[in-house]
Amino acid sequence: MSRIAFIVNPHAGNGSTGSKWPMIEALARDRLGPFETYMTRGPGDAVLRVKNALAQKVRLLVCVGGDGTLNEVVNGMMMHEASVRSDLALGFIPNGTGCDFVRTVSIPQDLEQAIDLIAAGTVRSIDLGVLFFRDDQGHERRRYFHNITSFGLGGDVARRVNRTTKALGPFVSFMWATLVSIFSCGKKKIRLRVDEGFERELRVWNVAVANGQYHGGGMWVAPGASVCDGILNVTVIGDLTIPEIFLNLPKLYNGKINDIEKVTTLAGEKVKASSNEQVLLDVDGEQPGMLPIDIGIVPDGLNIIRG
């Protein structure tokens, strides 16, 4: 790699990334040598920082933050031609509220170990999801995701988590938001289509369209998902009663979600969903809009340094 740039979200991890940055910077310069640093200032800024970095012929981008920051960096990279991206690699130093994606791709959550992994430089391609949706103003948008897009309860949880303090850590933050949303949001009636083989109207709590396996602060919603098989896994949490939700809650975390009677798992390359109700989206931990959506897969869409 001829040039390296760090995209740093100092607000990630409830502000802990900013306080840890001097330590991270010192370790990174020791392991990687000189690099440029781009600090983000607010939502969406990482996309612009990627554009600035690539204008300087950077070949290795390192994202420091959570899954939301990583999503912005990925979208910034995907704005460029495939010929540019083919010679570009992404490293990730996780320090955010969720950081669920690293569980799937074996990136250490320990900061020093994550830097050592980047220094080792093992680059592998992974798939990305791409979705078309409507934002809060009703405008049609396109967005890529590296981990999971969900809709229903997940969208309400993402909005709630991002509007409140995350000082108690990812598990408590997401669990509290989930419990509140269960009683305030309720189930949604959606029309779901996966490829040409599944099309049905369903009443659901949540639908997760997964490239990675985990979201929501450790919920193992797609145990069979892979980031390099060219397929999206779809987990439908159906018409459970509230007592059934609490009875099966441990299975959302221990890999036994498919044992729940009213959970359906599907797989495909294209997913479409719509509803007559307002159904919010959760895209890699962010809440950018609502149904309807049209989701596809981009095989080998990104080069990333991973375990």
Helices (H), 185-272: 242-248
Residues 81 and 202 both lie in one domain: no
Query: Is the residue at 234 inside a domain?
Result: yes
Residues 141 and 283 both lie in one domain: yes
For the segment 68-110, what is each residue's pLDDT rounded down to a tens digit?
Answer: 999 999 999 999 988 889 999 999 999 987 789 999 999 999 9
Structural domain containing residue 60 = 4-121
Provide the pLDDT for residue 178: 79
Mean pLDDT for the stretch of residues 285-307: 95
Residues 249 and 205 both lie in one domain: yes
- CATH assignment of the domain containing 227: 2.60.200.40
Dihedral sign computed on CA atoms, order 283, 69, 224, 173 = negative
Query: Is the residue at 200 inside a domain?
Result: yes
Residues 89 and 161 both lie in one domain: no
Provide the pLDDT for residue 170: 64
Among 62, 65, 51, CA closest to 123? 62
Provide the pLDDT for residue 167: 60
Query: Is the residue at 98 inside a domain?
Result: yes
Mean pLDDT for the stretch of residues 138-159: 92
Residues 202 and 55 both lie in one domain: no
Helices (H), 88-218: 101-105, 111-120, 153-162, 170-184
Query: Running DSSP on this structure, what letter comes out for residue 109?
Result: S
Query: Is the residue at 305 inside a domain?
Result: no
For the segment 237-283, what is each residue's pLDDT rounded down to a tens digit?
Answer: 999 999 999 999 999 999 999 999 999 999 999 999 999 999 999 99
Q: Tell me which of 105, 121, 137 is where a domain ends.
A: 121
Report residue 169's pLDDT band, with 50, 70 and 90 as the boundaries: low
| Most distant CA pair in the chain, distance | 57
Mean pLDDT for the stretch of residues 40-47: 93
Mean pLDDT for the stretch of residues 48-65: 94
Residue type, 249: L
Residues 92 and 145 both lie in one domain: no
Residues 207 and 295 both lie in one domain: yes
Query: Is the residue at 306 inside a domain?
Result: no
Query: Is the residue at 167 inside a domain?
Result: yes
Residues 100 and 210 both lie in one domain: no
Provide the pLDDT for residue 1: 45
Q: Tell me which of 77, 96, 121 is where a domain ends.
A: 121
Total number of domains in the chain: 2
Query: Is the residue at 149 inside a domain?
Result: yes
Q: Tell me which of 121, 138, 155 is where a domain ends.
A: 121
For the segment 219-244, what is each residue's pLDDT rounded down to a tens digit?
Answer: 999 999 999 999 999 999 999 999 99
Residues 140 and 273 both lie in one domain: yes
For the segment 141-151, what is each residue's pLDDT rounded down to a tens digit?
Answer: 999 999 999 99
Residues 176 and 98 both lie in one domain: no
Report residue 166's pLDDT band, with 50, 70 and 90 as the boundaries: low
Cβ(293)–Cβ(133) below 8 Å: yes
Report residue 25's pLDDT band, with 50, 70 and 90 as the boundaries: very high
- CATH assignment of the domain containing 65: 3.40.50.10330
Alpha-carbon span 305 to 196, nearest angstrom = 34
Residues 74 and 167 both lie in one domain: no
* Better pLDDT: 200 or 137: 200
Is residue 174 scored above 80 in pLDDT? no
Provide the pLDDT for residue 2: 53
